[in-house]
A and B are shown apart, each in its own frame.
Chain A
């Protein structure tokens, strides 16, 4: 039960700027209007590996639920808490290698994993033919791979073989006694898992476009005002929001 979706994109901005935009992308709704679903962002780890010079960062984002309402409706209230307005924690890890010119990122949901696990991996690179050139490249390639996996009805902690066998047993049970059993048996574990993966995948393709749009806005801002301008804008937005709160 796995669905994979891969896309490629090229930003018309140099690699260092794109990595900076990645760290800035949830920094303010004033900067990125496509980030209004992000409720909080925290860095829990950040260090430079002295051996490789690579920077490793781990962040946790709290986002309004990624699970589409249609998925929420498919699920029993016992799993969703009876509401379709849940927030999910996203774990984001990233590694930047400035010497070799690449950044690898991974984002995965921390809660709801029993319903649906979404793992998004991105690889940002300088275009190959320009990596060795003396002038820095003006563009950055990114490959995005999203893996959807629904494990409803499986015992999460079980090893592969057992999990597989159970899912198959659940399906054949449902086929054999046509109706008895619980929620998953009636609907067929496979069918439900597939529906959730498909619905989530459709929604994510839509969101990937928005996330690229958000990156583009930040990149434009960086081109116009540089990082100091962005920091200034952030500060102003913060002051405005604390005035509004006061």
Chain B
């Protein structure tokens, strides 16, 4: 079973994953999942709250920020390259 990064979130992650997969396959894929993932959003909030601490503790929040900045830089690099070649 795929675990959560944070052991203490495993249980709520599991409930959210199950909810999401059901919603996705039964509603979204059939064109019924329109504006929002409402039936799973309360679970997602609970899961997110649980995960926040672990993301901070492991420095993943910082890595995410760096990845976003890096992305901009990479885009600039590739565009620059195209002009040179």
Report which A residues bind B (CB closer than 8 A): 2, 16, 19-20, 23-24, 26-28, 35, 38-44, 46-48, 50, 53, 55, 60, 62, 89, 91, 96, 98-99, 108, 110-111, 113, 117, 119, 149, 156-157, 159-160, 227, 230-231, 234, 237-238, 241
Complex A-B: 24 CB contacts under 8 Å? A23-B24, A27-B2, A27-B17, A28-B1, A40-B5, A41-B4, A43-B16, A43-B44, A44-B51, A44-B55, A48-B35, A48-B37, A50-B34, A55-B24, A60-B5, A60-B60, A89-B60, A110-B60, A110-B66, A149-B74, A156-B70, A159-B76, A227-B21, A238-B14
Report which B residues bind A (CB closer than 8 A): 1-5, 9, 13-14, 16-18, 20-22, 24-26, 28-29, 31, 33-37, 44, 47-48, 51, 55, 60, 63-64, 66-67, 70, 73-74, 76-77, 80-81
Question: Given A20-B29, A43-B47, is A237 in contact with B1 using a C-beta cutoff of 8 Å?
Answer: yes
In the bound complex, CA of A157 to CA of B73 (Å): 8
How near does chain A come to B81, taking the closest CB pair, in angstroms?
8
Question: Given A48-B37, A160-B76, A160-B77, is A20 in contact with B25 using a C-beta cutoff of 8 Å?
Answer: yes
Question: Given A231-B21, A238-B14, is A55 in contact with B47 using a C-beta cutoff of 8 Å?
Answer: no
In the bound complex, CA of A119 to CA of B48 (Å): 26
In the bound complex, CA of A14 to CA of B9 (Å): 33
Contact with A24, one of B13, B21, B44, B76 (Cβ below 8 angstroms): B21
Q: Are the CB atoms of A50 and B1 closer together than 8 Å? A: no
Q: Are the CB atoms of A89 and B63 closer together than 8 Å? A: yes
Q: Are the CB atoms of A46 and B20 closer together than 8 Å? A: yes
**CB-CB < 8 A to B80: which residues of A?**
160
Question: Given A48-B36, A111-B63, is A20 in contact with B3 using a C-beta cutoff of 8 Å?
Answer: no
**CB-CB < 8 A to A160: which residues of B?**
73, 76-77, 80
Secondary structure of the A contact surface, majority rule = mixed
CB closest chain-A residue, reference B7: A40
Q: Are the CB atoms of A38 and B55 closer together than 8 Å? A: no
**CB-CB < 8 A to B26: which residues of A?**
227
Q: Are the CB atoms of B64 and A42 closer together than 8 Å? A: no
Q: Which one of B3, B16, B34, B44 has the highest number of Cβ atoms from chain A below 10 Å of its Cβ?
A: B3
Q: Are the CB atoms of A47 and B67 closer together than 8 Å? A: no
CB closest chain-B residue, reference A222: B25
Question: Given A46-B37, A231-B18, is A98 in contact with B24 using a C-beta cutoff of 8 Å?
Answer: no
Q: Are the CB atoms of A28 and B2 closer together than 8 Å? A: yes
Q: Are the CB atoms of A50 and B36 closer together than 8 Å? A: yes
Q: Are the CB atoms of A40 and B2 closer together than 8 Å? A: yes
How near does chain B come to A163, taking the closest CB pair, in angstroms?
8
How near does chain A come to B5, taking the closest CB pair, in angstroms?
5
How near does chain A come to B46, taking the closest CB pair, in angstroms?
12
In the bound complex, CA of A110 to CA of B14 (Å): 24
**CB-CB < 8 A to B25: which residues of A?**
16, 20, 227
How near does chain B come to A138, taking the closest CB pair, in angstroms?
16
Q: Are the CB atoms of B3 and A39 closer together than 8 Å? A: yes
How near does chain A come to B15, taking the closest CB pair, in angstroms?
11
